Chains A and B, each alone.
Chain A
Amino acid sequence: MSTETVKIKIRKNIGKIVAHLILAVVMIIILGPLIWMVMGSLKGKVEFYTNVLGLPKQFLWSNYVAAWIDAKLARCMLNSCIVTVSSVIPVVMLASVASYGFARFKFGGNKLLFFVVLVGLMITPQVIVIPLATILARMKLINTHLGIIFAYIAWALPFSIFLLRAFFMSLPQEIIDSAKIDGCSEFGAFWKIALPLSRPGLFPVAIFSGVNIWNDFLFAMIFLRSDKLKTLPIGLTALEARFSSSYTMILAGLTIAVVPIAVLFVIFRGEFMKGLTAGSLKI
């Protein structure tokens, strides 16, 4: 080993160490508020204001119990699960079919219609919420899960199509052609060849859409009214009383709301990352 190579090797490792150090600082900054949130949720009402930074004197898990019961979080969580899953699955299905269409077929209006899809991305939910509510009311879908699911599907489609189209565009034509030569129909080529190849991309789509739907507040507030149908974000507002909000309970409720998704993300992190890497998420 020449001195040159040795120098480069040391340099490389120092780089890594420095990177770790910087990242450690970054992680602390990012984790900070989260840790504080969890600690706060375990403190007593008064302690929350007097013992701002320290560890809770007692770990008041009762706050979690109280938040769970008072805000009827069990029902809310069930509703959130139902609504999110029932929206994400159609989104993935519809988006993959549509993206494939945009990506692999030449047809009149391809670019135009895709632009229309993109416009959907630019529209803030607040603009459409009232007209959409009126439409859903006319369809008798207001205050039903089905109604809000439709709204969520429509809302999540633009970004999902955007992501998946790139995937499909990166597939070499030869693969499709050879599938067809082997006797596949056009749709078969999609279903049996292209779709499985794009499977990694489905994870980011599902996670991005799922997270947004799980956390959505506006649609849930306007489209769902009765207690039995409420989703988690709305349920959490029950912890905000006009007369005395209990921040400790609110933080407990927030932590409860975050845990399922965080867990899901930890489990699927690998696939998620692979999805972002694979194909051409050059997008």
Chain B
Amino acid sequence: MRKMNFTKIYPYLYILPAIVFIALFILYPVAQGLYLSMLDYDPIMRISPYVGMKHYARVFRDPVFLTAVRNNFLYIGVSLITEVAAGLMIALLINKVKDSLISPSYQVIVFTPNVISMVAVGLLFSTIYHPQLGALNTILEKVGLSSWTRIWLGDPVLALGCIIVASSWRYIGFVAVIYFGALQRIPKELYEVASLDGANSIHQFLYITLPLLRGITTVIVGLALIGGFTVFAIPYVITRGQPYHSTEFIVTWSIKRAFSMENISYGTAISVVLLGIVLIATALYLKWREKEVYEY
């Protein structure tokens, strides 16, 4: 009898410790956060009256929140090109020369930005974008392109672009390295057979490489999706939401409301809404890529 029961619960023992950690330190806080968002919590005034959905109603009418959502979507859209597509390209290039001596250096260099903290990246690029004393404008002036100098972080559109550039710089290595790993797994024979059949590189790319990368692309795009919604440190450090809240992102706005503006409940409500958005977006995305998900 005992043996039978044990067999049933045995698998659970493997996952138990991890689940306990996740439940205690991630899920339980989320639940608490959910509860918190339905109060008007003020730690200083020590009051926490229940207000139900008041904050949520406000969130959807909040013009800055809507701008932030727009920015997050823009960010995701553009980063799909500048991070995912570009990362893939770099991976292909490194793959092409992977037997050369310099290949490991390429891999190290391209991944190094990923090792730097986001705050550091933000600080670094803030100084580069400085309108009068920054490297970018100085370079432009030196090469005679003074007319191209701008107040990079002062213009709503440009500032957004600058943030994306900084962020892509950091993540492109991550994508490239993962794609590179995946490329190694494609059997060489497939290419050899294809070229014997007369297929040129472009054909090989389109009909062998791409399809075989589908699975991992699903994952990378999924991560980019989640990451794009939860981006925080880089925009916060580079622009703080300026100018005029045009570069706010959902998380930066949530943090501002929660802390700087001392309305923890409202800020938490925003982040709960974000969680909802992410869950829905991910669910939809997974459904769309159902085939790949089940393949593994």
Given contacts A127-B268, A155-B26, contact A19 B17 (CB under 8 A): no
The answer to whether B120 touches A281 (Cβ under 8 A) is no
Chain B: CB-nearest residue to A254: B120
The answer to whether A107 touches B232 (Cβ under 8 A) is no
- Please tell me which stretch of B46-54, B126-134, B148-156, B240-248 contacts chain A, meaning at least 4 of its Cβ atoms lie within 8 angstroms of it: B126-134
Chain B: CB-nearest residue to A245: B123
Q: Is A241 an interface residue (CB 8 A)?
A: no
Give A45-56 as 1s and 0s: 1 = Cβ < 8 Å from B's Cβ atoms.
000010011000
Q: Is B264 an interface residue (CB 8 A)?
A: yes
Q: Is B88 an interface residue (CB 8 A)?
A: no
Q: With the chains together, A119 CA to B17 CA distance in Å?
A: 17
Q: With the chains together, A130 CA to B272 CA distance in Å?
A: 13
Cβ contacts under 8 Å, B22 to chain A: 116-117, 120, 154, 157-158
Cβ contacts under 8 Å, B173 to chain A: 30
Q: Is the interface of A mostly helix, strand, loop or mixed?
A: helix
Q: With the chains together, A169 CA to B215 CA distance in Å?
A: 15
A240-275: which residues lie under 8 A (CB-CB) from chain B? 247, 250-251, 254, 257-258, 261-262, 265-266, 269-270, 272-273, 275
B200 → A minimal CB distance (Å): 9
Q: With the chains together, A116 CA to B15 CA distance in Å?
A: 12
The answer to whether A98 touches B18 (Cβ under 8 A) is yes
The answer to whether A20 touches B100 (Cβ under 8 A) is yes
Q: Is B184 an interface residue (CB 8 A)?
A: yes
The answer to whether A266 touches B108 (Cβ under 8 A) is yes
Q: Is B282 an interface residue (CB 8 A)?
A: yes
The answer to whether B169 touches A128 (Cβ under 8 A) is no
Q: Is B115 an interface residue (CB 8 A)?
A: yes
The answer to whether B21 touches A282 (Cβ under 8 A) is no
Cβ contacts under 8 Å, B13 to chain A: 101
B60-110: which residues lie under 8 A (CB-CB) from chain A? 90, 93-94, 96-97, 100, 102, 104, 106-110
Q: Is A211 an interface residue (CB 8 A)?
A: yes
Q: Is B36 an interface residue (CB 8 A)?
A: yes
The answer to whether B32 touches A36 (Cβ under 8 A) is no
Cβ-defined partner of A124 (8 Å) among B102, B112, B230, B296 = B230
Q: Is B263 an interface residue (CB 8 A)?
A: no
Cβ contacts under 8 Å, A172 to chain B: none
Cβ-defined partner of B113 (8 Å) among A34, A97, A186, A281 = A34
User: Which of B18, B19, B25, B184 has the largest count of A CB atoms less than 10 A from its CB?
Assistant: B18
Q: With the chains together, A283 CA to B295 CA distance in Å?
A: 10
The answer to whether B264 touches A281 (Cβ under 8 A) is no
A166 → B minimal CB distance (Å): 6
Give A118-147 as 1s and 0s: 1 = Cβ < 8 Å from B's Cβ atoms.
111111101110111011000000000000
Cβ-defined partner of B29 (8 Å) among A132, A257, A266 = A132
Give A228-239 as 1s and 0s: 1 = Cβ < 8 Å from B's Cβ atoms.
000001001000
Given contacts A124-B232, A150-B25, A186-B10, contact A130 B264 (CB under 8 A): yes
Given contacts A262-B115, A265-B108, contact A135 B14 (CB under 8 A): no
Given contacts A217-B119, A269-B104, contact A101 B279 (CB under 8 A): no
Give B163-203 as 1s and 0s: 1 = Cβ < 8 Å from A's Cβ atoms.
00000010011000110111011000000000100000100
Q: Hey, which bits of chain A sit against chain B, CB under 8 A?
A: 8, 15-16, 19-20, 22-23, 26-27, 30-31, 33-34, 36-37, 40, 49, 52-53, 94-95, 97-98, 100-102, 105-107, 110, 113, 116-124, 126-128, 130-132, 134-135, 150-151, 153-155, 157-158, 161, 166, 169, 186, 190, 211, 214-217, 233, 236, 247, 250-251, 254, 257-258, 261-262, 265-266, 269-270, 272-273, 275-277, 280-283
Can you report 28 A-B residue pairs in the complex whose CB atoms are below 8 A from each other? Answer: A19-B93, A23-B97, A107-B11, A117-B22, A122-B230, A124-B230, A127-B29, A127-B254, A127-B274, A128-B30, A131-B28, A131-B32, A131-B36, A135-B28, A154-B24, A154-B25, A157-B18, A214-B117, A215-B115, A217-B233, A233-B117, A236-B120, A254-B116, A254-B123, A265-B112, A269-B108, A277-B182, A281-B181
Could you list 10 further interchain pairs (A-B, Cβ under 8 angstroms) beyond the known A26-B93, A94-B18?
A: A23-B93, A98-B18, A102-B15, A124-B274, A128-B25, A128-B26, A135-B24, A215-B116, A251-B124, A270-B104
Q: Hey, which bits of chain B sit against chain A, CB under 8 A?
A: 8, 10-15, 17-19, 21-22, 24-30, 32-33, 36, 90, 93-94, 96-97, 100, 102, 104, 106-120, 123-125, 127-128, 133-135, 138-139, 142, 169, 172-173, 177-178, 180-182, 184-185, 195, 201, 215-216, 219, 226, 229-230, 232-233, 251, 254-255, 258, 264, 268, 271-272, 274-275, 278-279, 282, 295-296
